[in-house]
Amino acid sequence: MELLNDGKIEKWNPAAPTATGSVPRLVSTWNYGSVNASGGPNPTFHGDILGDWREEVVYTNASYNELIIFTTNQPSSTRLYALAHNPAYRNAMTLKGYVQSHHVDYFLGAGMATPPRPNITYAP
């Protein structure tokens, strides 16, 4: 599990000693020119927008004319619908804004059952 803390993407390690108070850093988003439109440490958006169940973090650049998207480069054999197709996840994105964690209404993790197919229809 990765954590997003004040513009830092960090790797959670449950086996690491808690006394050190540190979490290994993977990325400092500001090193890639990312800023937040509100001037704070939070991204413009975070959530599953690429549709592979893993969440992306979206910032803008200082000129506000480019999006900077942080995603994983790790392959996965897990294939799921985009999390935004899950009603609970989508509602959480709306209710809590784009700076809080979003959760699906099923267990998502090792040993999980196949999640229910989302009820998606296309408008004519």
pLDDT tens-digit series, residues 66-112: 999 998 888 888 888 888 888 888 888 877 655 667 888 899 888 88
Please report whether residue 22 resides in a domain.
yes
Instruction: Specify the number of domains making up the chain.
Output: 1
Please report whether residue 90 resides in a domain.
no
Domain residues for 13?
Answer: 2-78
Q: What is the pLDDT of residue 23?
A: 77
Query: Considering only 10-14, 16-20, 55-59, which range has the smallest mean pLDDT?
Result: 16-20
pLDDT tens-digit series, residues 40-63: 667 888 888 887 788 888 888 888
Please report whether residue 56 resides in a domain.
yes
Please report whether residue 101 resides in a domain.
no
Interatomic CA distance for residues 116 and 108, integer angstroms: 12
Please report whether residue 114 resides in a domain.
no
Indicate the SS3 state at residue 25.
Answer: strand
Cβ–Cβ < 8 Å for 57, 46: yes
Interatomic CA distance for residues 13 and 25, integer angstroms: 11
Please report whether residue 86 resides in a domain.
no
